[in-house]
Structure 1
Protein backbone atom coordinates (compact mmCIF):
# COMPACT_ATOMS: atom_id res chain seq x y z
CA UNK A 1 0.00 0.00 0.00
CA UNK A 2 1.29 3.46 -0.93
CA UNK A 3 1.65 6.41 1.45
CA UNK A 4 -1.28 8.07 -0.29
CA UNK A 5 -3.60 5.10 0.21
CA UNK A 6 -2.51 4.79 3.85
CA UNK A 7 -4.03 8.25 4.48
CA UNK A 8 -7.42 7.14 3.19
CA UNK A 9 -9.81 6.05 5.97
CA UNK A 10 -10.15 2.30 6.19
CA UNK A 11 -13.35 0.47 5.23
CA UNK A 12 -12.71 -3.21 5.99
CA UNK A 13 -16.28 -4.18 5.15
CA UNK A 14 -15.84 -2.92 1.58
CA UNK A 15 -12.45 -4.61 1.27
CA UNK A 16 -13.95 -7.89 2.49
CA UNK A 17 -16.80 -7.75 0.00
CA UNK A 18 -14.38 -7.02 -2.82
CA UNK A 19 -12.09 -9.88 -1.80
CA UNK A 20 -14.95 -12.41 -1.67
CA UNK A 21 -16.34 -11.31 -5.01
CA UNK A 22 -12.94 -11.32 -6.69
CA UNK A 23 -12.02 -14.74 -5.33
CA UNK A 24 -15.15 -16.30 -6.81
CA UNK A 25 -14.83 -14.44 -10.12
CA UNK A 26 -11.18 -15.40 -10.63
CA UNK A 27 -12.03 -19.03 -9.85
CA UNK A 28 -14.68 -18.85 -12.57
CA UNK A 29 -12.13 -17.52 -15.05
CA UNK A 30 -9.75 -20.37 -14.25
CA UNK A 31 -12.53 -22.89 -14.89
CA UNK A 32 -13.51 -21.36 -18.25
CA UNK A 33 -11.44 -23.00 -21.02
CA UNK A 34 -12.37 -20.17 -23.37
CA UNK A 35 -10.39 -17.66 -21.31
CA UNK A 36 -6.79 -17.58 -22.52
CA UNK A 37 -5.58 -15.19 -19.85
CA UNK A 38 -6.66 -12.75 -17.18
CA UNK A 39 -5.09 -10.04 -15.04
CA UNK A 40 -5.93 -7.41 -12.47
CA UNK A 41 -5.55 -3.87 -13.70
CA UNK A 42 -5.87 -0.46 -12.08
CA UNK A 43 -4.95 0.04 -8.45
CA UNK A 44 -5.34 -3.66 -7.62
CA UNK A 45 -2.94 -4.51 -10.43
CA UNK A 46 -0.30 -2.05 -9.26
CA UNK A 47 -0.68 -2.85 -5.56
CA UNK A 48 -1.81 0.70 -4.73
CA UNK A 49 -5.40 -0.20 -3.88
CA UNK A 50 -7.13 0.95 -0.72
CA UNK A 51 -10.32 -0.38 0.87
CA UNK A 52 -12.44 1.80 -1.43
CA UNK A 53 -10.90 0.64 -4.69
CA UNK A 54 -13.04 -0.87 -7.42
CA UNK A 55 -12.14 -3.91 -9.52
CA UNK A 56 -10.57 -3.71 -13.00
CA UNK A 57 -10.08 -6.98 -14.86
CA UNK A 58 -8.56 -7.74 -18.24
CA UNK A 59 -9.64 -10.97 -19.93
CA UNK A 60 -8.14 -12.42 -23.13
CA UNK A 61 -10.31 -14.63 -25.34
CA UNK A 62 -10.21 -16.05 -28.85
CA UNK A 63 -10.82 -13.42 -31.53
CA UNK A 64 -13.89 -15.26 -32.81
CA UNK A 65 -15.54 -15.13 -29.37
CA UNK A 66 -14.76 -11.52 -28.46
CA UNK A 67 -18.36 -10.34 -28.73
CA UNK A 68 -19.66 -13.45 -26.97
CA UNK A 69 -17.72 -12.54 -23.83
CA UNK A 70 -18.67 -8.85 -24.05
CA UNK A 71 -22.33 -9.55 -23.30
CA UNK A 72 -23.29 -8.37 -19.78
CA UNK A 73 -23.63 -11.40 -17.55
CA UNK A 74 -21.39 -13.66 -19.66
CA UNK A 75 -18.29 -13.29 -17.51
CA UNK A 76 -18.13 -14.97 -14.09
CA UNK A 77 -19.40 -13.20 -11.01
CA UNK A 78 -18.93 -13.41 -7.29
CA UNK A 79 -21.57 -13.36 -4.57
CA UNK A 80 -24.51 -10.99 -4.69
CA UNK A 81 -26.58 -9.76 -7.63
CA UNK A 82 -25.93 -7.59 -10.66
CA UNK A 83 -27.65 -4.23 -10.23
CA UNK A 84 -26.68 -2.82 -13.64
CA UNK A 85 -24.31 -3.61 -16.49
CA UNK A 86 -23.33 -1.47 -19.46
CA UNK A 87 -21.56 -1.94 -22.74
CA UNK A 88 -18.52 0.28 -22.17
CA UNK A 89 -16.48 -0.51 -25.28
CA UNK A 90 -15.94 3.22 -25.90
CA UNK A 91 -13.51 3.14 -22.96
CA UNK A 92 -11.07 0.96 -24.88
CA UNK A 93 -9.13 0.93 -28.16
CA UNK A 94 -10.74 -0.22 -31.38
CA UNK A 95 -10.90 -4.00 -31.62
CA UNK A 96 -11.49 -4.52 -27.89
CA UNK A 97 -14.58 -4.66 -25.72
CA UNK A 98 -15.51 -3.53 -22.21
CA UNK A 99 -18.36 -4.11 -19.80
CA UNK A 100 -18.89 -2.07 -16.63
CA UNK A 101 -21.40 -2.47 -13.87
CA UNK A 102 -22.44 -2.53 -10.26
CA UNK A 103 -22.93 -5.59 -8.08
CA UNK A 104 -24.79 -5.60 -4.79
CA UNK A 105 -23.16 -7.69 -2.09
CA UNK A 106 -24.50 -7.71 1.47
CA UNK A 107 -26.45 -4.55 0.72
CA UNK A 108 -23.42 -2.59 -0.50
CA UNK A 109 -22.39 -1.73 -4.07
CA UNK A 110 -19.24 -2.96 -5.80
CA UNK A 111 -18.14 -1.53 -9.15
CA UNK A 112 -16.43 -3.83 -11.66
CA UNK A 113 -14.86 -2.92 -15.02
CA UNK A 114 -14.17 -5.78 -17.43
CA UNK A 115 -11.83 -5.23 -20.38
CA UNK A 116 -12.04 -7.98 -23.00
CA UNK A 117 -9.19 -8.34 -25.50
CA UNK A 118 -8.77 -10.74 -28.42
CA UNK A 119 -5.73 -13.03 -28.49
CA UNK A 120 -4.46 -11.17 -31.57
CA UNK A 121 -4.00 -8.06 -29.39
CA UNK A 122 -2.94 -9.81 -26.21
CA UNK A 123 -0.07 -8.58 -24.08
CA UNK A 124 0.24 -7.77 -20.41
CA UNK A 125 0.55 -4.12 -19.43
CA UNK A 126 3.60 -3.23 -17.35
CA UNK A 127 1.43 -2.45 -14.33
CA UNK A 128 -0.88 -5.48 -14.45
CA UNK A 129 -1.01 -8.41 -12.04
CA UNK A 130 -1.42 -11.55 -14.14
CA UNK A 131 -3.15 -14.51 -12.48
CA UNK A 132 -3.99 -16.64 -15.54
CA UNK A 133 -1.95 -17.12 -18.72
CA UNK A 134 -2.49 -20.24 -20.80
CA UNK A 135 -0.36 -19.12 -23.77
CA UNK A 136 2.58 -17.15 -22.36
CA UNK A 137 1.69 -13.67 -23.62
CA UNK A 138 4.39 -11.01 -23.68
CA UNK A 139 4.81 -8.38 -21.00
CA UNK A 140 4.55 -4.94 -22.61
CA UNK A 141 6.50 -1.80 -21.66
CA UNK A 142 3.37 0.38 -21.67
CA UNK A 143 1.03 0.87 -18.72
CA UNK A 144 -2.60 -0.12 -19.04
CA UNK A 145 -3.64 3.53 -19.12
CA UNK A 146 -1.29 4.11 -22.05
CA UNK A 147 -2.67 1.08 -23.88
CA UNK A 148 -6.24 2.29 -23.41
CA UNK A 149 -5.41 5.63 -24.99
CA UNK A 150 -3.48 4.19 -27.95
CA UNK A 151 -5.12 4.70 -31.35
CA UNK A 152 -8.83 5.13 -31.98
CA UNK A 153 -11.42 4.16 -29.43
CA UNK A 154 -14.34 1.88 -30.13
CA UNK A 155 -17.46 3.89 -30.99
CA UNK A 156 -20.08 3.89 -28.20
CA UNK A 157 -23.20 1.78 -28.51
CA UNK A 158 -26.54 3.65 -28.63
CA UNK A 159 -28.24 4.04 -25.23
CA UNK A 160 -31.73 5.04 -24.21
CA UNK A 161 -32.35 8.00 -21.86
CA UNK A 162 -33.28 5.62 -19.05
CA UNK A 163 -29.90 3.90 -19.43
CA UNK A 164 -28.19 7.20 -18.66
CA UNK A 165 -30.38 7.66 -15.59
CA UNK A 166 -29.57 4.18 -14.32
CA UNK A 167 -25.87 4.84 -14.92
CA UNK A 168 -26.06 7.99 -12.82
CA UNK A 169 -27.80 6.10 -10.03
CA UNK A 170 -25.23 3.33 -9.79
CA UNK A 171 -22.32 5.79 -10.08
CA UNK A 172 -23.37 7.76 -6.98
CA UNK A 173 -21.16 5.49 -4.79
CA UNK A 174 -18.20 6.40 -7.02
CA UNK A 175 -18.77 10.03 -6.03
CA UNK A 176 -19.08 8.85 -2.43
CA UNK A 177 -15.70 7.17 -2.73
CA UNK A 178 -14.20 10.48 -3.79
CA UNK A 179 -15.64 12.09 -0.67
CA UNK A 180 -14.08 9.37 1.51
CA UNK A 181 -10.72 9.97 -0.13
CA UNK A 182 -11.10 13.76 0.17
CA UNK A 183 -10.51 13.96 -3.56
CA UNK A 184 -10.42 17.41 -5.23
CA UNK A 185 -12.41 15.81 -8.07
CA UNK A 186 -15.48 15.27 -5.87
CA UNK A 187 -17.32 18.38 -7.04
CA UNK A 188 -16.70 17.59 -10.72
CA UNK A 189 -17.96 14.03 -10.21
CA UNK A 190 -21.17 15.27 -8.59
CA UNK A 191 -21.64 17.72 -11.45
CA UNK A 192 -21.11 14.89 -13.96
CA UNK A 193 -23.90 12.95 -12.26
CA UNK A 194 -26.30 15.87 -12.61
CA UNK A 195 -25.78 17.66 -9.30
CA UNK A 196 -24.60 21.22 -8.63
CA UNK A 197 -20.94 22.12 -8.96
CA UNK A 198 -19.82 23.18 -5.48
CA UNK A 199 -16.02 22.91 -5.22
CA UNK A 200 -15.90 24.71 -1.87
CA UNK A 201 -18.56 22.60 -0.17
CA UNK A 202 -17.82 20.52 2.92
CA UNK A 203 -17.86 16.76 2.74
CA UNK A 204 -21.10 16.84 4.73
CA UNK A 205 -22.67 19.08 2.09
CA UNK A 206 -21.47 16.78 -0.70
CA UNK A 207 -22.99 13.78 1.09
CA UNK A 208 -26.30 15.59 1.52
CA UNK A 209 -26.32 16.42 -2.20
CA UNK A 210 -25.73 12.79 -3.16
CA UNK A 211 -28.52 11.63 -0.83
CA UNK A 212 -30.93 14.04 -2.49
CA UNK A 213 -29.88 12.74 -5.88
CA UNK A 214 -30.41 9.13 -4.78
CA UNK A 215 -33.94 9.93 -3.62
CA UNK A 216 -34.58 11.55 -6.98
CA UNK A 217 -33.76 8.25 -8.69
CA UNK A 218 -36.56 6.43 -6.83
CA UNK A 219 -38.81 6.85 -9.89
CA UNK A 220 -36.56 4.43 -11.81
CA UNK A 221 -38.06 1.53 -9.84
CA UNK A 222 -34.73 0.21 -8.59
CA UNK A 223 -35.17 0.32 -4.79
CA UNK A 224 -32.26 -2.05 -4.11
CA UNK A 225 -29.89 0.22 -5.99
CA UNK A 226 -31.11 3.32 -4.15
CA UNK A 227 -30.86 1.53 -0.79
CA UNK A 228 -27.33 0.31 -1.58
CA UNK A 229 -26.31 3.84 -2.50
CA UNK A 230 -27.58 5.16 0.83
CA UNK A 231 -25.81 2.33 2.68
CA UNK A 232 -22.57 3.27 0.96
CA UNK A 233 -22.96 6.93 1.89
CA UNK A 234 -23.71 5.87 5.48
CA UNK A 235 -20.37 4.07 5.47
CA UNK A 236 -18.62 7.17 4.12
CA UNK A 237 -20.12 9.25 6.93
CA UNK A 238 -19.08 6.70 9.57
CA UNK A 239 -15.48 6.75 8.39
CA UNK A 240 -15.22 10.54 8.30
CA UNK A 241 -17.09 11.42 11.52
Structure 2
Protein backbone atom coordinates (compact mmCIF):
# COMPACT_ATOMS: atom_id res chain seq x y z
CA UNK A 1 0.00 0.00 0.00
CA UNK A 2 1.59 3.19 -1.16
CA UNK A 3 1.80 6.49 0.63
CA UNK A 4 -0.80 9.13 -0.27
CA UNK A 5 1.19 11.81 1.62
CA UNK A 6 3.83 11.96 4.32
CA UNK A 7 3.22 11.79 8.04
CA UNK A 8 5.27 13.07 10.98
CA UNK A 9 8.47 11.20 11.93
CA UNK A 10 7.89 7.80 13.55
CA UNK A 11 11.38 6.33 14.04
CA UNK A 12 10.12 3.25 15.88
CA UNK A 13 8.08 2.20 12.84
CA UNK A 14 10.98 2.88 10.50
CA UNK A 15 13.21 0.80 12.77
CA UNK A 16 11.05 -2.32 12.85
CA UNK A 17 10.54 -2.07 9.10
CA UNK A 18 14.29 -1.83 8.50
CA UNK A 19 15.07 -4.81 10.74
CA UNK A 20 12.33 -6.95 9.19
CA UNK A 21 13.47 -6.07 5.69
CA UNK A 22 17.12 -6.79 6.43
CA UNK A 23 16.34 -10.27 7.79
CA UNK A 24 13.89 -11.02 4.99
CA UNK A 25 16.35 -9.92 2.31
CA UNK A 26 18.95 -12.30 3.72
CA UNK A 27 16.43 -15.16 3.62
CA UNK A 28 15.44 -14.36 0.04
CA UNK A 29 19.05 -14.20 -1.06
CA UNK A 30 19.68 -17.62 0.48
CA UNK A 31 16.75 -19.25 -1.32
CA UNK A 32 17.82 -20.81 -4.67
CA UNK A 33 14.25 -20.64 -5.97
CA UNK A 34 14.36 -16.83 -5.93
CA UNK A 35 15.93 -15.35 -9.05
CA UNK A 36 15.76 -11.79 -7.78
CA UNK A 37 13.97 -9.34 -5.53
CA UNK A 38 13.16 -5.66 -5.61
CA UNK A 39 11.42 -3.03 -3.54
CA UNK A 40 8.41 -1.53 -5.29
CA UNK A 41 5.74 0.91 -4.16
CA UNK A 42 6.79 3.97 -2.20
CA UNK A 43 9.97 2.36 -0.82
CA UNK A 44 11.11 1.29 -4.27
CA UNK A 45 10.41 4.71 -5.76
CA UNK A 46 12.20 6.55 -2.94
CA UNK A 47 8.99 8.26 -1.79
CA UNK A 48 8.43 6.48 1.52
CA UNK A 49 8.02 7.96 4.97
CA UNK A 50 8.32 6.28 8.37
CA UNK A 51 4.71 5.06 8.10
CA UNK A 52 5.13 3.33 4.75
CA UNK A 53 4.46 -0.38 4.40
CA UNK A 54 6.61 -2.78 2.39
CA UNK A 55 5.97 -3.85 -1.19
CA UNK A 56 8.27 -6.60 -2.47
CA UNK A 57 8.54 -7.95 -6.00
CA UNK A 58 9.92 -11.49 -6.01
CA UNK A 59 10.92 -13.27 -9.22
CA UNK A 60 10.95 -17.08 -9.11
CA UNK A 61 11.35 -19.93 -11.59
CA UNK A 62 8.09 -20.50 -13.45
CA UNK A 63 7.45 -23.95 -11.98
CA UNK A 64 7.80 -22.62 -8.43
CA UNK A 65 5.36 -19.72 -8.52
CA UNK A 66 2.37 -21.41 -6.88
CA UNK A 67 4.50 -23.10 -4.25
CA UNK A 68 6.32 -19.89 -3.40
CA UNK A 69 3.11 -17.83 -3.18
CA UNK A 70 1.83 -19.93 -0.27
CA UNK A 71 1.86 -17.75 2.89
CA UNK A 72 3.77 -20.37 4.88
CA UNK A 73 6.52 -20.45 2.24
CA UNK A 74 7.31 -16.75 2.44
CA UNK A 75 10.05 -15.62 4.85
CA UNK A 76 8.84 -13.72 7.91
CA UNK A 77 12.00 -11.81 8.79
CA UNK A 78 12.08 -10.72 12.42
CA UNK A 79 8.29 -10.85 12.73
CA UNK A 80 5.57 -13.32 13.56
CA UNK A 81 2.96 -13.84 10.80
CA UNK A 82 -0.47 -12.75 12.03
CA UNK A 83 -2.79 -12.92 8.99
CA UNK A 84 -2.28 -13.42 5.25
CA UNK A 85 -4.55 -13.07 2.23
CA UNK A 86 -4.39 -14.27 -1.36
CA UNK A 87 -4.23 -11.00 -3.32
CA UNK A 88 -3.55 -12.30 -6.84
CA UNK A 89 -6.47 -10.25 -8.18
CA UNK A 90 -4.28 -7.16 -7.70
CA UNK A 91 -1.89 -8.20 -10.48
CA UNK A 92 -1.83 -9.31 -14.12
CA UNK A 93 -2.89 -12.82 -15.04
CA UNK A 94 -0.13 -15.32 -14.35
CA UNK A 95 1.31 -13.46 -11.37
CA UNK A 96 0.65 -14.15 -7.71
CA UNK A 97 0.34 -11.85 -4.71
CA UNK A 98 0.01 -12.25 -0.96
CA UNK A 99 -0.80 -9.48 1.50
CA UNK A 100 0.01 -10.06 5.13
CA UNK A 101 0.43 -8.56 8.56
CA UNK A 102 3.48 -9.38 10.66
CA UNK A 103 3.92 -8.59 14.34
CA UNK A 104 7.30 -7.05 15.14
CA UNK A 105 8.12 -5.85 18.66
CA UNK A 106 4.41 -5.65 19.45
CA UNK A 107 3.57 -3.52 16.40
CA UNK A 108 1.97 -4.52 13.08
CA UNK A 109 3.83 -4.37 9.78
CA UNK A 110 1.93 -4.74 6.52
CA UNK A 111 3.70 -6.40 3.59
CA UNK A 112 2.47 -6.84 0.03
CA UNK A 113 4.30 -9.66 -1.77
CA UNK A 114 4.18 -9.71 -5.56
CA UNK A 115 5.48 -12.97 -7.06
CA UNK A 116 6.24 -13.01 -10.79
CA UNK A 117 7.44 -15.72 -13.18
CA UNK A 118 11.04 -15.49 -14.39
CA UNK A 119 10.00 -15.96 -18.04
CA UNK A 120 7.80 -12.84 -17.93
CA UNK A 121 9.67 -10.62 -15.49
CA UNK A 122 11.45 -7.29 -15.82
CA UNK A 123 12.23 -4.74 -13.15
CA UNK A 124 9.74 -1.84 -13.12
CA UNK A 125 11.11 1.60 -13.91
CA UNK A 126 10.49 2.86 -10.36
CA UNK A 127 11.77 -0.19 -8.45
CA UNK A 128 14.91 -0.59 -6.36
CA UNK A 129 16.54 -3.94 -7.12
CA UNK A 130 17.79 -5.76 -4.03
CA UNK A 131 19.52 -8.56 -5.93
CA UNK A 132 19.30 -10.14 -9.38
CA UNK A 133 20.82 -13.54 -10.18
CA UNK A 134 19.64 -13.66 -13.82
CA UNK A 135 20.35 -10.20 -15.22
CA UNK A 136 16.74 -9.15 -15.82
CA UNK A 137 15.99 -6.10 -17.94
CA UNK A 138 14.52 -2.83 -16.78
CA UNK A 139 10.99 -2.03 -17.97
CA UNK A 140 9.98 1.46 -19.10
CA UNK A 141 6.68 1.18 -17.20
CA UNK A 142 6.24 1.89 -13.51
CA UNK A 143 5.15 -0.86 -11.14
CA UNK A 144 1.64 0.59 -10.93
CA UNK A 145 1.38 0.61 -14.72
CA UNK A 146 2.54 -3.01 -14.89
CA UNK A 147 0.01 -4.09 -12.27
CA UNK A 148 -2.83 -2.49 -14.19
CA UNK A 149 -1.87 -3.89 -17.59
CA UNK A 150 -3.83 -6.70 -19.24
CA UNK A 151 -6.30 -9.10 -17.68
CA UNK A 152 -6.27 -9.77 -13.96
CA UNK A 153 -6.65 -12.98 -12.02
CA UNK A 154 -10.01 -13.75 -10.44
CA UNK A 155 -10.40 -12.41 -6.91
CA UNK A 156 -10.27 -15.12 -4.27
CA UNK A 157 -13.61 -15.43 -2.48
CA UNK A 158 -13.42 -14.58 1.22
CA UNK A 159 -15.70 -16.09 3.81
CA UNK A 160 -17.11 -14.00 6.69
CA UNK A 161 -14.21 -14.88 9.02
CA UNK A 162 -11.60 -13.95 6.41
CA UNK A 163 -13.37 -10.66 5.72
CA UNK A 164 -13.39 -9.84 9.42
CA UNK A 165 -9.70 -10.75 9.68
CA UNK A 166 -9.00 -8.36 6.82
CA UNK A 167 -10.93 -5.61 8.56
CA UNK A 168 -8.90 -6.20 11.71
CA UNK A 169 -5.62 -6.08 9.80
CA UNK A 170 -6.66 -2.80 8.18
CA UNK A 171 -7.15 -0.99 11.50
CA UNK A 172 -3.46 0.05 11.59
CA UNK A 173 -3.72 1.12 7.93
CA UNK A 174 -6.54 3.44 8.94
CA UNK A 175 -4.36 4.63 11.82
CA UNK A 176 -1.58 5.40 9.34
CA UNK A 177 -4.01 7.51 7.33
CA UNK A 178 -4.91 9.43 10.47
CA UNK A 179 -1.22 10.13 11.07
CA UNK A 180 -0.90 11.39 7.50
CA UNK A 181 -4.10 13.46 7.77
CA UNK A 182 -5.29 11.65 4.66
CA UNK A 183 -8.77 12.28 3.17
CA UNK A 184 -8.99 8.50 2.74
CA UNK A 185 -9.26 8.01 6.52
CA UNK A 186 -13.06 8.13 6.66
CA UNK A 187 -13.65 5.68 3.77
CA UNK A 188 -11.20 3.23 5.32
CA UNK A 189 -12.91 3.41 8.70
CA UNK A 190 -16.25 2.82 6.98
CA UNK A 191 -14.86 -0.26 5.23
CA UNK A 192 -13.67 -1.62 8.58
CA UNK A 193 -17.20 -1.27 9.93
CA UNK A 194 -17.30 2.17 11.50
CA UNK A 195 -19.34 5.25 10.59
CA UNK A 196 -18.41 7.37 7.60
CA UNK A 197 -17.54 10.75 9.12
CA UNK A 198 -15.35 12.79 6.76
CA UNK A 199 -13.73 15.79 8.39
CA UNK A 200 -13.97 14.39 11.92
CA UNK A 201 -11.14 15.37 14.33
CA UNK A 202 -8.30 12.88 14.35
CA UNK A 203 -8.92 12.01 17.99
CA UNK A 204 -12.50 11.05 17.13
CA UNK A 205 -11.25 8.79 14.34
CA UNK A 206 -8.83 7.14 16.79
CA UNK A 207 -11.60 6.61 19.32
CA UNK A 208 -13.73 4.95 16.64
CA UNK A 209 -10.91 2.58 15.68
CA UNK A 210 -10.30 1.63 19.31
CA UNK A 211 -13.97 0.86 19.70
CA UNK A 212 -13.94 -1.25 16.55
CA UNK A 213 -10.96 -3.25 17.83
CA UNK A 214 -13.09 -4.39 20.73
CA UNK A 215 -15.39 -6.21 18.30
CA UNK A 216 -12.75 -8.56 16.92
CA UNK A 217 -12.30 -10.83 19.95
CA UNK A 218 -14.27 -13.67 18.35
CA UNK A 219 -11.60 -14.04 15.65
CA UNK A 220 -9.13 -15.43 18.19
CA UNK A 221 -6.32 -13.21 16.88
CA UNK A 222 -5.29 -11.55 20.15
CA UNK A 223 -1.82 -10.67 18.88
CA UNK A 224 -3.24 -8.68 15.98
CA UNK A 225 -5.76 -6.94 18.24
CA UNK A 226 -3.06 -6.00 20.75
CA UNK A 227 -0.76 -4.78 17.97
CA UNK A 228 -3.61 -2.67 16.61
CA UNK A 229 -4.03 -0.99 19.98
CA UNK A 230 -0.27 -0.42 20.22
CA UNK A 231 -0.24 1.15 16.78
CA UNK A 232 -3.11 3.51 17.59
CA UNK A 233 -1.33 4.49 20.81
CA UNK A 234 1.74 5.33 18.72
CA UNK A 235 -0.37 7.45 16.38
CA UNK A 236 -1.77 9.38 19.34
CA UNK A 237 1.67 9.87 20.88
CA UNK A 238 3.06 11.09 17.56
CA UNK A 239 0.24 13.54 16.85
CA UNK A 240 -0.45 14.57 20.40
TM-score by length of 1: 0.96
Q: In the aligned structure 2, how far is the partner of 1:34 from the partner of 1:24?
A: 17
Q: What secondary structure is seen at the aligned counterpart in 1 of 2:212?
A: helix
Q: CA RMSD in A?
A: 1.1
Query: Where do 5+ consecutive residues of structure 2 fail to align?
Result: none
Quote the residue 1:188 is aligned against: 187
Q: Distance in 1 between matches of 2:165 and 2:77?
A: 22
1:182-221 matched pairs, under 5 angstroms: 182-221=181-220
> TM-score normalized by structure 2?
0.96
Q: Distance in 2 between matches of 1:212 and 1:142?
A: 42
Tell me how far apart the structure 2 counterparts of residues 184 and 200 of structure 1 sit (CA, whole Å): 8
- Counting matched residue pairs gives 237
**Deviation per residue, 1:58-109 (Å, 9 max, x gap):** 0001111110111002121211210001111011110000011000011100
**1:99 aligned partner:** 98
Does residue 21 of structure 2 align to residue 22 of structure 1?
yes
Structure 1 segment 8-157 matched on structure 2, within 5 A: 8-157=7-156
1:159 CA displacement: 2.2
Q: Distance in 1 between matches of 2:236 and 2:198?
A: 19
Which 4+ runs in 1 deviate beyond 2 A? none
Query: Equivalents in 1 of 2:30, 2:60: separation in Å?
Result: 14
Q: Displacement of 1:222 after TM fit?
A: 1.4
How far 1:24 moved relative to its partner? 0.3
Cα separation, 1, equivalents of 2:79 and 2:141: 35
Answer with 219-228 or 61-70: which moved more: 219-228
Q: Which runs of 5+ in 1 are unaligned?
A: none
